Amino acid sequence: MNKSIKVALIGNPNTGKTSVFNQLTGLKQKVGNYPGITVEKKEGVCKLSNGQKAHIIDLPGTYSLNTTSLDESVVVELLLNKRNEDFPDVAVVISDIENLKRNLLLFTQIKDLKIPTLLVINMADRMVKKGITLNIKELEKKLDTRIALVSTRKGTGIEELKTSIENYSTLSTEAIINASHIAPEYFERLQKTFPGEDLYKLWLVITQDINFMPVEKNRLQNSELLPTKSKAELKRLQHKETIYRYQFINKVLKETYKVDPSAATGFRASIDRILTHKIFGYVIFILLLLLIFQAIFDWSQYPMDFIDAQFASASEWIKETLPPGVFTNLLAEGILAGIGGIVIFIPQIAFLFLFISLLEESGYMSRVVFLMDRLMRPFGLSGKSVVPLISGTACAIPAVMATRNIENWKERLITILVTPFTTCSARLPVYLIIIALVIPQDTILGISYQALTLMFLYFLGFATAIISASILNRMLKIKGRSFFMIEMPSYKLPLLRNVAYTVVEKTKSFVVGAGKIILAISIVLWFLGSNGFSDEFKNAEEIVTERIVNEGFSTHSKAFISDKLEEYKALDRTGAREGLNADNTDLQKGSIELKTREFQEAAKGQEIASFRLEHSLIGNIGKSFEPLVKPLGYDWKIGIAILTSFAAREVFVGTLATIYSVGNDQEETIKGRMAAEINQDTKKPLFNLASGISLILFYAFAMQCMSTLAVVKKETNSWRWPLLQLGFMTVFAYLVALITYQILD
């Protein structure tokens, strides 16, 4: 079997590169980071017709090989380093039919590196609508390559592309433009200094900020024979090269690419005037967000209730089916309860990613970024800061990494420091469960209070980020501004295949990533909650039984017994209990007494489980720092959940689900267990309006997770900034939560 063909997908942003990647690889793909660098590495496997496989690498979007960001540097470093394990056998440059001229700049540069290069012209289905005609044969001849005309929307051209990849060895590796014409004397001197080396590769090594070949770079810089040029001179030569390449491209397209002006319409310009309007643009965006948040609550309610009930039933089934013991308790009270605490949120997380993907696929998200630039500039943020802040709604980690496109260091630093304030999807489970518990389900103008609360939290995070940026802007005395440029892609109907891939991959990443952490933490929590060394833990049953005999049931238990009896009597009055004559008073009385004893035993079991948990190992740990969280309206259990959620915010719900399940024979849903919790000091529901809002605001402002902290350290190359960030956000979150609880309680 031949070795797999290494294929690099390269292209400008918004050319449909991800769509081509998805078409080639399907779901046989994985996402990670390049070794030692926080740049996303997306790769997959494509099966070719001859049984051979192609290893596809989706490189970061880049406009040219003249790098301006870390993303683009990754592309250049890979293409210049044959020792890299991912160095491609063939480069596939993705372009789109409407912006072919701009896309060909990158193609000519890669072709001149003498790598076998294919050109994919995507979005071919738009040719008729835009009045575009293309002479493929002539274009192939002039560019000295093979061209695949592709429509990922209609699924055409993909098989032809696979065939071209299979036959990559027949592609020409000759350069099509002689870049040395921009400075003949300089390049002649360069050739004499390094005979046998490729001139264009040497030129890129000299002009680009790349790190993989220090020996070659040093050799070039220290050479006495090589004429020195300042950065400004090198920049001028780069601009001259770009002009020279566009002269070639213009000549080629003049003979092969035609556009009928009468076929063009003003639809895009008309829509843009509305969607980017200085007033209506914001109104439309807010209404869209309201619709999204309303749908997240309404559409996901039924699947969430179903999942919640299934986990409760599964836990009960395990306890009834498997023999009693440590393993059964671990499964039912530890692993299953913890995992159930995150799986329940799959519908809402999936809906969130669905809507974000639809907005991105349609081209609307670029308009949102443009719109927000107007809002953010007065606060001292770069226009490019919009991208990290918007993408932070999915996850802070890639959002922080996205700041590398900001050239000005101080502006980039400010963006890194404030991005964690934006509401990420990891916070969503915390918000959703608390909102469901403390915010009524009533509506106003057809929009639920719960959806409005969720939207408010998103706006609160964004507002806090830009206000913090304004303060940091003054403190750090930033000088100089970077320019904001963003491409406005054409409007198009979202490609459902791409949307599906995005939802599946993002949701899977969310669940698997959180699931690994929750599984480990659930096992540890179950062990700590099921074991203890104190006499109270060991003699919990005797102590609680004696207390009930002497003092009676607790207020919570009395309410539990009363509620259960009322439910039972209601069933009796409707004749729902088979075999009972409602007119037989003695039989009815005996039945109620029997049920009363049954409910009392259940209440007693709950009090024993609660007492044992309180005096377990985890109870002792929680009690030790309960004084810190008590002024916020929390008990030691919430304190433990806050502590463990530093691993990942979504762990909060899973932690509480595990803690509430330990030793508890009453198999309720997660929502039911949390709603039933009582504050032992106030004897009121633990999750009420005061404590609930306090908890939500704590999570709105506190540092998200240790992974975000690690990424901030890597991006700033110092522990100073992440530690300052952690300290400030934690103290700020604590003070806001404290003030909120004291006011509302």
Q: Are 399 and 40 in contact (CB under 8 A)?
A: no
Give the residue range(s) of CATH 3.40.50.300 domains in the chain: 1-264
Q: Are 34 and 128 in contact (CB under 8 A)?
A: no
| Residue 120 β-bridge partners | 94, 148
554-566: pLDDT as tens digits: 766 676 677 677 7
pLDDT category at 422 given cuts 50, 70, 90 is confident
Q: Please indicate, yes or no, whether the overall pTM of this predicted structure exceeds 0.95.
A: no
Between strands 443-444 and 147-149, the pairing is: unpaired
Architecture of the domain delimited by 1-264: 3-Layer(aba) Sandwich (3.40)
Average pLDDT, the chain: 79
* Lowest mean pLDDT across 211-215, 659-663, 682-686: 211-215
59-82: pLDDT as tens digits: 888 888 887 666 677 888 888 888
DSSP letter at 332 equals I
Measuring CA to CA, which residue among 494, 172, 187, 156 is closest to residue 357? 494
* Lowest mean pLDDT across 16-25, 345-354, 698-707: 345-354
* pLDDT at residue number 38: 38
**Mean predicted confidence (pLDDT) in 474-501:** 70
306-323: pLDDT as tens digits: 887 888 788 888 878 888
**Mean predicted confidence (pLDDT) in 604-614:** 77
Write the single-letter amino acid at 572: D
Question: DSSP string covering 187-213, please?
Answer: HHHHHHHSTTS-HHHHHHHHHS---S-
CA distances (Å), 476 to each of 464, 468, 479, in order?
Answer: 18, 12, 9
* pLDDT at residue number 409: 76
**Mean predicted confidence (pLDDT) in 589-603:** 75
Sign of the four-CA dihedral 185, 186, 191, 197: negative
**Mean predicted confidence (pLDDT) in 219-226:** 50
Measuring CA to CA, which residue among 393, 352, 361 is closest to residue 498? 361
**Mean predicted confidence (pLDDT) in 578-597:** 59
More confident residue, 353 or 627: 627
- 238 has a pLDDT exceeding 50: yes
* Lowest mean pLDDT across 174-183, 305-314, 349-358, 513-522: 513-522
453-475: pLDDT as tens digits: 988 998 898 889 989 988 888 88
- Burial grade of 570 (CB within 10 A; 0-12, 13-18, 19 or more): exposed
**Mean predicted confidence (pLDDT) in 406-417:** 80
